[in-house]
Chains A and B, each alone.
Chain A
Amino acid sequence: MQDVGYPVCTLGEVKNRADLVIFWGCNPMHAHPRHMGRYSVFARGFFRERGRRDRTVVVVDPRKTDTAKLADLHLQVEPNKDYELISAMRAVLRGHELNVDRVAGVPVDIIYEAVEACKKAQFGQLFFGMGVTMSRGKHRIIDNAICLIIDLNAYTKFGLMPMRGHYNVNGFNQVLSWLTGYPYAVDFSRGYPRYNPGETSTIDLLVRGEVDVMMNIASDPGAHFPQRAVEHIAKIPVICVEPHQTPTTELSNIIIPTAFTGVEVGGIAYRMDGVPLELKKVVDPPEGVLTDEEVFKIMSKKIDEML
């Protein structure tokens, strides 16, 4: 993604303008239940007054998800064949003929139909999820998808957006980018920020056993990481800054509980389209519990004293 750049827009624009929406490897009906209602499919927008009836919905997913069931077109791609499917769509878009019956398990006439629908759209938007970022090829697939979007922009307006799971994934990428120039996987060990996913990314470092202390902040790698990465986590000292008990806190040496942001303490978070919103404090945290910001400020001071 950092190699090619990508066209963005806000969810408000999707709501008001999009007449074609693609969900690739994501299932908003389950993971983002109000996405389709508020922003992307059923929402009645300025130029899309009739909501769902003014939009074409395309879903690319190996499974017949609930989102796929209400799509106009479902491309039931074989698992891990996303890259091939995108390449086929790009080929069709450029006027090449597909001399096979199926690509990546999808009948070619459905591919033709999908490309035709994309070309005809006034404003298209591709949302992609874990299904893409976790399938074989990972960020290369995204690069290819971005190229598809660039190709489509020769015909119409088209954008793409990742469906963020945790509420402030985007915020972290924003903050780290304005502090270091890179969105994630930043290595400060040489005294300046370096970025080289595959080398400086968490799972790779854990699998190779290169890091010797882990501070885990409000997330649960113990439950989601590959076995070999978790084995290394079990070996090294682990600090958890985290309100809840999780499989990762079970592997830790120090647990520092904090107030729950967005419920017990306010703060800024970035929506998946990059719009910053202010989270509210609704109730008080349990007595004596500090906020994340307070914990890191105290830690920072103590580190200054030790260095």
Chain B
Amino acid sequence: MVEIVKNVVCPFCGCLCDDIEIMVEDGHIVGTRNACRIGHAKFMHFEGSVRYTEPLIRENKKDDFKKTDYDTAIEESARLLVESKLPLLYGFSSIGCEAQREAILIGEKIGAIVDNTATV
């Protein structure tokens, strides 16, 4: 059964077109309506070529990644950030405002630089 989700906002450029219809079958996106070719292509293949589903970690950048669990990955990240003299939190442009707020508050706690892609 194809289910149609209406009035979806497209999260693939600053236009945020809010009239997209998405066809969903068995929990997978099978089609779109109203989206442009960028939006359509991204909705259809948003999982990209390689999608991570488990946290990965490595001590040395020359080593291969090892699978780990969220708790360990987040704990290690927290340790790196806390021990750092001047940490940098960068990006933020492709996540929701609620998550942006949480991350900025982390930046305040650890005395970090908080910045994004925009220079204007």
Query: Which residues on A are within 8 Å of B, measured CB to CB?
Result: 1, 31-35, 38-39, 133, 138-139, 142, 162-176, 179-180, 183-191, 193, 197, 200-202, 205-206, 210-219, 221, 234, 237, 239, 241-245, 249, 251-258, 260-263, 265-272, 276-280, 282-284, 286-293, 295-300, 302-304, 306-307
CB distance from B76 to the nearest CB of A (A): 6
Q: Give every chain A residue within 8 A of B28 (Cβ-Cβ).
A: 283
CB distance from B114 to the nearest CB of A (A): 5
Q: A269–B11 contact, CB under 8 A?
A: yes
Q: Please give me the residue from chain A that is nearest to B87 by CB atom.
A: A213
Q: A239–B96 contact, CB under 8 A?
A: no
Q: B96–A267 contact, CB under 8 A?
A: yes
| Complex Cα spacing A212 to B29, Å | 41
Contact partner of B61 (CB less than 8 A), chosen from A243, A253, A255, A289, is A253
Among B48, B70, B77, B101, the one with the most A-chain Cβ atoms within 10 Å of its Cβ is B77
Contact partner of A266 (CB less than 8 A), chosen from B54, B55, B96, B118, is B96
Q: B55–A164 contact, CB under 8 A?
A: no
The 22 listed contacts between A and B (C-beta, < 8 Å) are A138-B119, A163-B14, A164-B118, A172-B118, A175-B101, A184-B114, A202-B113, A206-B88, A213-B80, A241-B91, A242-B52, A245-B48, A261-B95, A263-B29, A268-B98, A271-B15, A280-B5, A283-B28, A299-B77, A303-B82, A303-B110, A306-B78
Verify if B16 is at the interface (C-beta below 8 Å from A).
yes
Q: A245–B49 contact, CB under 8 A?
A: yes
